[in-house]
Amino acid sequence: MKIAIGNDHVGYNLKLHLSEYLKQKGYDLENFGCDSEESCDYPVFAKKVAEAVASGRCDLGILICGTGVGISIAANKVKGIRAVVCSEPYSARLARQHNDANILAFGARVIGPAIAEMIVDEFLNAKFEGGRHQKRVDLISQMENE
Ligand code: RB5
């Protein structure tokens, strides 16, 4: 599975931590920046990750800013993206199982590295269940074309 990962300056250190964690687990990661703690604009990196996922170049994405809010709002502007902010593992699992979320976002000012690992594990290990959830996801997709 290929994972796109991106962040702003606030998310940089947590991105480094999670990149090591995920590489050790055997995931193929593509880093879309930013790559320092110098102040930058999260929509730039949200767009890069979202386009990589929407195009199929990467299977899923992870985005980190201060809260996960701004970077997920920006990612959701790209057609085909269902980005979710999760600060605990249960929502991360259900976001994949029920909502077919394709980008996970969270905030480096909200959660620490240990809970971030748990959230990422739940998100990446869960599978979309389809069935009654497919119709609902399709209704969301239809809204993009209206
Ligand atoms: C940057 O100060 C901060 O606004 C950003 O990281 C993020 O939390 C936005 O939603």
Nearest residue by C-alpha to atom 2 in ligand 1: 66
Q: Put residue 126 in one of left, alpha, beta given phi > 0 → left and psi -120 to 50 → alpha.
A: beta
Give the distance (Å) from ligand 1 centre to CA of residue 107.
Answer: 8
Domain boundaries, the chain: 2-145
pLDDT one digit per residue (tens) for the chain, 146 residues: 999 999 999 999 999 999 999 999 999 999 999 999 999 999 999 999 999 999 999 999 999 999 999 999 999 999 999 999 999 999 999 999 999 999 999 999 999 999 999 999 999 999 999 999 999 999 999 999 99
Is 2-145 CATH 3.40.50.720?
Answer: no
10-41 as b/e, with b when 16 or more CB fall inside 10 Å? bbbebbebbbeebeeeebebebbbbeeeeebe
**Single pTM value for the model:** 0.98
- Cβ-based neighbours of 77, under 8 Å, separated by 6 or more: 47, 50
Query: Ligand 1 centre and the CA of 94: distance in Å?
Result: 25
Q: Among all residues, which ones are annotated catalytic?
A: 65, 98
